[in-house]
Amino acid sequence: MRSSTFVLILGALFCARMAAQVPLSPAGDGHLTVPVAVNGSGAFPFILDTGADGTAVYHWFAEQQHFPPGKSEELVGQTGNSLVSTYKLKSITLDGRSLRDVVADELSNRHDEGKQAGIAGNDIMDGAIAIFDFPCHTVQLIPKPLDMRKLLGGNILPVQAGPVKEGTELTLPVTINGVKGLAVLDTGSRDTRINSKFAAAAGIDPTSADFKVADVIYGSTSKAMPSKVGPLGTIAFAGLEVRNVRGRVMDLSSYETFGMADAPAMTLGADVMGGFKLIYDHQEKRVWFQPSTCTH
């Protein structure tokens, strides 16, 4: 009897850990945001970004909240590096998970319609399993340790991700139209981007009439970079295949920082991942992709 009761209690605890969810909401500029409490107040809309090392806040939000400034440091962005101010935050909290004594980089105010307060990066996801259910528009942060077999509902093997040269981002092997390359896993990127080497190898011609001039990308450092958008074809990753993908061709500065600039490289954005559930274990460099119970 005691054994049965113990099993029931363990099951209830597991379900309780699984029950918490927060909304993954569109921000109006193509990004998705989650509610984050800052210094015990809020919640405020933040981008939960696997392509960011740590926490950052936009200039308008830092001014509004009267955050105490700290020292300046170099911020590495997709379009270049820049020296930025930092702010000392007492805490940030997402889905019941808190980080204390946070040093947040300052981001220039956005050039589009986005009104995000900031970015929550890999720092808040360490020590937890992050579940991005894009079709269901939800996110969960489940504390570790965790029985992944129960979480996944079967013996589904992970994709072992790789590191970048500088930073905490993770990479996955991908193919575009059957051509192999390496992708940065970036939930904070609203669309998918490939470098010119990948485009040439995959038979993609950004000078063709199929490609149009796209809006300027500024990145986290607010350095403008032009691009073209057009058909990329079929992208395959983690045993999945997504056809008729449209994306940008641009040689992002971050590929140089990541040590990826001399080979076919890309940024796997939320657009391509948007039809699936992403299970993300940043510390162990493991990711899983599963079908969602919701319609994309």
Section 73-92 average pLDDT = 82
pLDDT in tens, 233-254: 999 999 999 999 999 999 998 9
With CA atoms as reference, report the closest residue to 184 among 105, 257, 75.
257
Which residues does 59 contact at the CB level (< 8 Å), separation at least 6? 106, 107, 108, 109
What percent of the chain is modeled with pLDDT above 70?
88
Torsion of CA 115, 127, 42, 170, to 10 degrees: 0
pLDDT in tens, 164-188: 999 999 999 999 999 999 999 999 9
Which residues does 30 contact at the CB level (< 8 Å), separation at least 6? 190, 191
Section 12-39 average pLDDT = 76
Full-model pTM: 0.88
Section 35-51 average pLDDT = 95
On the question of pLDDT at 155 being above 90, the answer is no
On the question of pLDDT at 77 being above 60, the answer is yes
User: What does the pLDDT read at residue 13?
Assistant: 40
On the question of pLDDT at 93 being above 50, the answer is yes
Euclidean distance between CA atoms 36 and 125, whole angstroms: 13
Section 109-117 average pLDDT = 77
Which pLDDT band holds residue 216 (cuts at 50, 70, 90)? confident
User: What does the pLDDT read at residue 264?
Assistant: 98
Tokens found for residue 79? 């379009």
Full set of structural domains in the chain with CATH = 18-150 (2.40.70.10), 155-290 (2.40.70.10)
User: What does the pLDDT read at residue 224?
Assistant: 72
Maximal CA-CA distance, the chain:
72
